[in-house]
Homo-oligomer: A and B are copies of this chain.
Amino acid sequence: MISVDAFDLKILTALQDDGRLTNQELADLAGLSASQCSRRRMRLEEEKVISGYHADLSSEALGFGVIAFIQVGLATHSPDNSKRFRALVNRIDEIQEAYSLTGDADYVLKAVLRDLKGLSNLVNDVLMPHQSVAHVRSSIVLDRLKESAKLPLRDLKAG
């Protein structure tokens, strides 16, 4: 079993805020020595509690003006068809996130595109014609209130 103590939690919290923190900086935050932070970080990486580090790029600065949520219904629910659809989703870099959900649609995709032409291209030229897909409905993001992948390591208080 993976055990994560209070020191580990401090390290994880700090690293998901700033993945480039120095062991010395971690040490100051966690109240440990730098070497110890190095050891703990290595352990957390080996145990895959930390699965990786990523630079966060500005979609605005790089000219990605459109985010869309795309609800997809499959043509059939056979295993083969699901497999085909998953393979399709995996090779489209514009699709950042993809989930199967309870409720109406079979899948929800989140895609990032340069412009509406890109979205049209994705929906009409890639998704719709694919044999696994029956119907597609897309919603465009008007405003982004919040966008991160941070886990809530401190627990939710009701109210």
Contacts and interface: CB of A to CB of B under 8 A. Distances in A.
B152 A15 contact: no
The number of chain A residues touching the other chain, given as a range, is: 35 or more
A7 interface: no
Contact of A95 (B54, B140, B146): B146
Contacts of A112: 151-152
A153 B62 contact: yes
Contact of A101 (B96, B107, B139, B151): B139
Contacts of A49: 57-58, 61-62
Nearest to A49: B61
Contacts of A78: none
A124 B3 CA distance: 31
27 contacts: A4-B62, A12-B57, A16-B54, A48-B61, A49-B58, A50-B56, A51-B58, A53-B54, A53-B55, A54-B150, A64-B152, A86-B145, A96-B146, A96-B147, A96-B149, A98-B145, A99-B144, A99-B145, A101-B139, A101-B142, A102-B140, A103-B137, A108-B139, A112-B151, A113-B156, A121-B158, A149-B149
Given A94-B152, A99-B144, 8 more contacts: A4-B62, A12-B57, A54-B149, A57-B151, A86-B145, A90-B145, A98-B147, A99-B142
